[in-house]
Amino acid sequence: MSAAFHFDPFAAEFFEDPFPAFQVMRRDHPVYRREIPNHRVWPHYWMLSRAADVDAALKDWRRFSSAQGTLIDTDITLIPPNMFNMDPPRHDELRTILARVLTPRRVADLEPEIARAARAILASHLPTGQLDATRDYAQLIPTLTMCSLLDLPVSDRELFLRWNLETMAGADFTSPEALRAYGEMDAYWKGIVAERRKHKGSDLISQILHHDRAGLELADEEIAGFCSLLHDASQNTTMNMIANAVIALGRNPDQRRKLTDDPTLWPAAIEELMRFVSPVQGLARATTCDVTLHGVTIPAGDQVLILYGSANHDETVFENPERLDFDRPRVKTHWGFGQGIHTCLGAAVARLEIRVALQVLLDAVPDYTVVESGIIRNQLVPTRGLAATPITFAPITFA
C-alpha cells in the first residue's frame, strides 16, 4: 500500500485520466477518505471505487441516502428540490409520474428531429474542415431535444445552456453565479407551469401537470422542480458524453471503422462507449447509520462519493478495461446510467441522442483527427466535463 497515494476528484490533474488513480484505489484503498480544507458543510468525505461496492451502495438507499443531495459538500437547501435528492416514498411517487410520460414511443418519435438538427448544425462546419465537437455540436443537441420534449422556444436554448454551465460545470455548485442561475431558472419554469396550466399541450410539462394519479397532488414548486430536473439531468450529461465519445472514437480509429463498416454494431458500441467514457463519474450519498466496509467504518451522516466511472473500469468485471472494444462481451453490465432506485430515467433519450449525434457525424466525416492540444477539460465529478473538443478533417464541399 502506497502511503503517498492522493486522489482529489476536483483537482485538474485528474480530469483527463482518472483511471490509474481509480485502479490504485480499487486495489489498495477501497474505502478512501478525503479531507476538505475549506469545507462548507462536510469536513471530509469517503469514496467507493470497487464495482461490487458501487453497485451495493446504489441499491441500498436506506443506508446510502440521496436526501442530503448528490453533490459533494453542497448545501442542498440552496438548490431547488427534485427527485434526484429524495428518498422514498416521495421519490418513488414523483418518479412514477415522469416514467409514465417519458414513454418509449415519445422517445422514438424524437429521432427524425434530432437527426435533422444534427445535420443542420454540422453542415455549416463541413466546408471549414474543423469543428469544436463540444461548443459547435454536442452542447446544442440536448438543448434542442429538451425544447422538443418540453415544447419550449428554441430561441431560449442559449439561456438553458448558460444556466446549465453556471450551475453544473464548476467545482462550486452554490457559487453566486450558480445561485443566480437557479433563481432565474426557477422564475422561468414557474412562468411556464402557469402558462401550461391555462393552455394544455401535448408536451411533457402539460402531461406532468395533468397526470392522472388520483390523490397525488403536485405543488407548482414540484412541477417547476421536474422541469429543472429534466434540464439538469439531460444537458450536462449528454453533451459531455457526445464530446467524450468523439474523442474516444478519434483516438481509436480501428473501433471507429468497425462502426462505419457495420452499423448493426451501434447498440453495443453505445453501451461500450458509455462504460468507457462514463460521463457521470461520481455522485454522492449520505450514510444514515455507521457502515463498515473492508474493515473501515464510515460514520452515520458522512458523505460518500460513489465512483461510477471506477466501477466501469473495474478489472474484476471487464477484461482490459482501459481498451475500447465494441466486441466486448457482457457490455450491457455497466454503471453509466447508475443503478438502484435512481437509475437514469432518460437513458432511452440519451442513447438516442448519442447514437444519432455520432452517426450523423461519422456519416459526414468518417475520418477525423482530435486536436489533442486544444482539448479543455473543466470537471471530473459529477460529470466528465469538456469545454472544448476541437477536431479537424478534410474539408467537405457540396457541389
Is 281 a binder of ligand HEM (CB under 6 A)?
no
Nearer to ligand HEM, 174 or 236 (CB): 236
Report d(CA 138, CA 154) in Å as an integer: 16
Nearer to ligand HEM, 307 or 350 (CB): 350
CB 61 within 8 A of CB 341: yes
In this structure, what DSSP letter does residue 396 have? -
Q: CA-CA distances (angstroms) from residue 34 to 6, 63, 73?
A: 9, 20, 12
Radius of gyration in angstroms for the set of CA atoms belonging to the chain, rounded to a whole number: 21
Q: Which residue type, as a one-letter code, is found at position 108?
A: A
C-alpha cell, 24: 490504485
Is 175 strand, coil or helix?
coil
What distance lies between CA 177 and its chain's CA centroid?
21
End-to-end CA distance of the chain: 63
Cis peptide before 89 (omega within 30 of 0): yes
Nearer to ligand HEM, 66 or 359 (CB): 66
Pattern 43-82, ligand HEM, x by CB under 6 A = -----------------------x---x------------
C-alpha cell, 129: 474542415
Nearer to ligand HEM, 126 or 239 (CB): 239
Q: Which stretch binds ligand HEM (CB under 6 A): 44-52, 151-159, 278-286, 373-381?
A: 278-286
Q: Which residue in 49, 134, 164, 234 binds ligand HEM (CB under 6 A)? A: 234
Identify the CA nearest to 112 among candidates 152, 148, 139. Answer: 148
Is 83 a binder of ligand HEM (CB under 6 A)?
yes
Is 286 a binder of ligand HEM (CB under 6 A)?
no
Report, in Å, the least distance between residue 101 CB and ligand HEM: 11
Query: Which residue's C-beta sits nearest to ligand HEM?
Result: 346
Binders of ligand HEM: how many residues, by CB under 6 A?
26
Nearer to ligand HEM, 174 or 278 (CB): 278
**Residue 241: CB atoms within 10 Å:** 29
Q: Which residue in 280, 357, 370, 380 binds ligand HEM (CB under 6 A)? A: 280
- Interface residues with ligand HEM (CB under 6 A) are 66, 70, 83-84, 95, 98, 229-230, 233-234, 237-238, 241, 279-280, 283, 308, 336-338, 342, 344-346, 349-350
